């Protein structure tokens, strides 16, 4: 069985203590990288691994690193995006709370590969209690000689700083994060130029997610080819999944990419099935911003093949019949959950978190929230469904950053797959507004 990279030893000892972490092989990648490998050699191993960004986009990590402007005379920066604000996603929080040193180790070897002597961990404001954990881990690593000047006698020096945000979802977008890190309002930048050329303080910068950078330590120690053996196709390695909703065993799981969705949902090794003996109605497989899928499309593709927990399989069929792996925020809804109410709740979030720079997002998210509120509370009209479709269509692809897309996709998918539920709400306002009322496709139930 392939190894668990992040969670293998997580409850065997207190891994916030560096001696315990090193007892299980921690920090072995640092002397290997600094004493036996060149920065380009480390980058080559990451490229061989096929590691893709674990924050949501799934872009090849080694390729992203190669875009860094190495001809500039300005300092280079590595920024760890720990602003985990996607509803349904909490795996980075879990990793930083219970195994912070794997992130610190990953930051060291990644910074070495990029030639960055200053690294920032930009952490979500609500994760205030993790700041002490991370700063203690940084201090322990420095005391052991893994940080500071001339690490382990090499020519490489590195300092890591933890910087808390103010709880803005928009700062999960890398350029908004950089604006915030510079002390400005967290508004996304127009691109180009991209951060690899003009990033933090106008210098070449790489921004990667917590899980992505933590994986770099294992890749350097064991080799990119070994990492690529885990998973399937272009979805290599392991992935942390935050499983929540109506599940018997919600929590954070480390899966080998390629596990079937059905196995992940129903096996005792993972989620253990739907809670309270209910049936699965729908699932959001990658955080609130990805399209929702009905039960028959989350376990099987439109072609009848098993749906796998991979970037490619979850996206099979496009948004007509597929979704995205995204940030790994796996949310399950049982038969007694209301899709209209859920969609309205997501839309409220995106309206609240829009930075307001782009008119389609600023105005469109507000209109979607109002229309969905009307439908949910018995004041909807038949034309509202087409109005929602039209508004989301005019948001998608027309904003500086992907928040507009993130707001549009859940609405579009809910209408695409559950239009009958919207219609039932509109045609039966009295029944639909009863406390706990849920439409199961042919009957009203009070959950």
Q: Which long-range contacts (CB under 8 A, 24 or more apart) does 193-199 make?
A: 194/67, 196/64, 196/67, 196/68, 196/69, 197/67, 197/69, 197/72, 199/77, 199/79
CATH fold group of domain 232-334: Ubiquitin-like (UB roll) (3.10.20)
Element (H, E) at 97: helix 91-98
Q: Where are the beta strands (DSSP E) in 6-113?
A: 77-82
- Which ranges in 267-376 belong to alpha helices (H)? 295-298, 311-314, 318-321, 339-353, 359-376
Per CATH, domain 18-229 is 3.40.50.11540: yes
CB 211 within 8 A of CB 86: no
Domain boundaries, given as residue ranges, for the chain: 18-229, 232-334, 339-446
Which CATH code for domain 339-446? Answer: 1.20.1440.230
- The two beta strands, 235-236 and 231-232, are antiparallel
Cβ neighbours of 74 (radius 10 Å)? 14
Let me know if the fold of 18-229 is the same as that of 232-334: no
Interatomic CA distance for residues 164 and 130, integer angstroms:
10
Crossing angle of the two packed helices 210-222 and 91-98, in degrees rounded to 10 = 60
Classify residue 269 by its DSSP letter.
T
As a whole number of Å, the end-to-end CA separation of the chain is 41
Tens of each residue's pLDDT in the chain, 447 residues: 567 999 999 989 999 999 999 999 999 999 999 999 999 999 999 999 999 999 888 899 999 999 999 999 999 999 999 999 999 999 999 999 999 999 999 999 999 999 999 999 999 989 999 999 999 999 999 999 999 999 999 999 999 999 999 989 999 999 999 999 999 999 999 999 999 999 999 999 999 999 999 999 999 999 999 999 999 999 999 999 999 999 999 999 999 999 999 999 999 999 999 999 999 999 999 999 999 999 999 999 888 999 999 999 999 989 899 999 999 999 999 999 999 999 999 999 999 999 999 999 999 999 999 999 999 999 999 999 999 999 999 999 999 999 999 999 999 999 999 999 999 999 988 777 777 777 676 555 655
């Amino acid at each position: 069985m392939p190894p668990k990279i992040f969670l293998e030893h997580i409850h065997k000892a207190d891994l916030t203590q560096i001696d315990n972490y090193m007892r299980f092989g921690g920090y072995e990648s640092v002397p290997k990288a600094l004493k036996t490998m060149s920065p380009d050699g480390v980058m080559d191993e990451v490229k061989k691994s096929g590691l893709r960004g674990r924050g949501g986009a799934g872009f090849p990590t080694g390729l992203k690193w190669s875009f860094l402007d190495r001809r500039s005379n300005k300092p280079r920066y590595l920024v760890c995006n720990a602003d985990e604000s996607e509803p349904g996603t909490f795996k980075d929080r879990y990793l930083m709370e219970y195994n912070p040193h794997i992130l610190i180790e990953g930051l060291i070897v990644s910074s070495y590969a990029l030639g960055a002597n200053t690294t920032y961990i930009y952490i979500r404001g609500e994760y205030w209690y993790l700041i002490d954990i991370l700063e203690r881990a940084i201090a322990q690593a420095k005391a052991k000689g893994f940080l500071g000047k001339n690490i382990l006698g090499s020519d490489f020096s590195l300092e890591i700083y933890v910087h808390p945000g103010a709880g803005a979802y928009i700062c999960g977008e890398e350029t908004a994060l950089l604006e915030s890190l510079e002390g400005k309002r967290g508004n996304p930048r127009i691109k180009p130029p991209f951060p690899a050329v003009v990033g933090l303080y106008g210098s070449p910068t790489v921004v990667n997610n917590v899980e992505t950078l933590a994986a770099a330590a294992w890749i350097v120690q064991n080799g990119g080819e070994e990492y690529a053996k885990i998973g399937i196709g272009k979805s290599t390695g392991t992935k942390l999944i935050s499983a929540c909703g109506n599940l018997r065993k919600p929590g954070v799981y480390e899966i080998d990419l390629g596990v079937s969705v059905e196995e992940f949902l129903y096996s005792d090794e993972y989620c253990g099935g739907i809670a309270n003996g209910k049936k699965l109605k729908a699932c959001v497989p990658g955080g609130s911003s990805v399209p929702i899928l009905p039960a028959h499309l989350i376990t099987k593709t439109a072609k009848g093949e098993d749906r796998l927990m991979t970037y490619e399989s979850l996206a099979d069929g496009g948004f007509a019949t597929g979704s995205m792996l995204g940030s790994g925020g796996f949310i399950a809804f049982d038969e007694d959950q209301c899709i209209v109410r859920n969609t309205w709740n997501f839309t409220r979030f995106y309206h609240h978190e829009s930075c307001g720079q782009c008119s389609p997002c600023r105005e469109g998210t507000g209109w979607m929230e109002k229309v969905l509120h009307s439908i949910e509370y018995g004041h909807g009209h038949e034309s509202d469904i087409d109005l929602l479709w039209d508004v989301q269509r005019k948001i998608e692809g027309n904003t500086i950053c992907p928040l507009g897309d993130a707001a549009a996709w859940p609405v579009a998918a809910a209408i695409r797959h559950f239009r009958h539920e919207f219609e039932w709400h509109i045609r039966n306002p009295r029944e639909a507004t009863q406390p706990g009322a849920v439409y199961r496709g042919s009957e009203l139930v009070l959950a």
